[in-house]
Amino acid sequence: MKTVEGGVCAAKGIWAAGVAAGVKYQDRKDMAVIYSEAPCVCAGTFTSNVVKAAPVLWDKEIVEKSPFAQAVIVNSGIANACTGKEGFACCQAEAEAAAKSLQIPENSVLIGSTGVIGMQMPIDRLQAGIAELAAKKEHSAEAAFAAAQAIMTTDTVDKQVAVSFEIYGRSVTMGGMCKGSGMIHPNMCTMLAFVTCDAAISKELLTKAVKESVADTFNMISVDGDTSTNDTFLFLANGMAGNPEITEEDEAYRTFKEALCFLNTAMAKKLAGDGEGATALVEVQVKGADTKEAARLLAKSVICSSLTKAAIFGHDANWGRILCALGYSGAAFEPEKVELFFESKSGRIQICKNGSAADYSEEEAGKILSDEEVTIVADMHMGTETATAWGCDLSCEYVKINADYRS
Q: Which residues are designated catalytic?
A: 190
For residue 391, which of 221, 193, 207 has the smallest C-alpha distance? 221
Strand order, beta sheet including 373-379: 221-222, 385-392, 281-289, 373-379, 339-344, 347-353, 356-357
**Can you say how many angstroms the Cα of residue 141 is from the centroid of all Cα atoms in its chain?**
20
Task: Reduce the secondary structure of 52-119 to three states and give it as a string.
Answer: CCHHHHHHHHHHHHCCCEEEEEEEEEECCCCCHHHHHHHHHHHHHHHHHHHCCCHHHEEEEEEEECCC
> Residue 123: exposed, middle, or buried by beta-carbon count in 10 A (0-12, 13-18, 19+)?
middle
Pairing of strands 221-222, 385-392: parallel
Spatial separation of the C-alpha atoms in residues 10 and 381, rounded to whole Å: 43
Spatial separation of the C-alpha atoms in residues 144 and 261, rounded to whole Å: 21
Task: Please report, for residues 56, 93, 178, 215, the alpha-carbon distance to residue 46 in angstroms, rounded to integers and kept in the order given.
Answer: 7, 22, 14, 12
41 within 8 A of 237, measured Cβ to Cβ:
yes
For residue 25, which of 87, 81, 91, 76 has the smallest C-alpha distance? 76
Pairing of strands 192-197, 2-3: unpaired
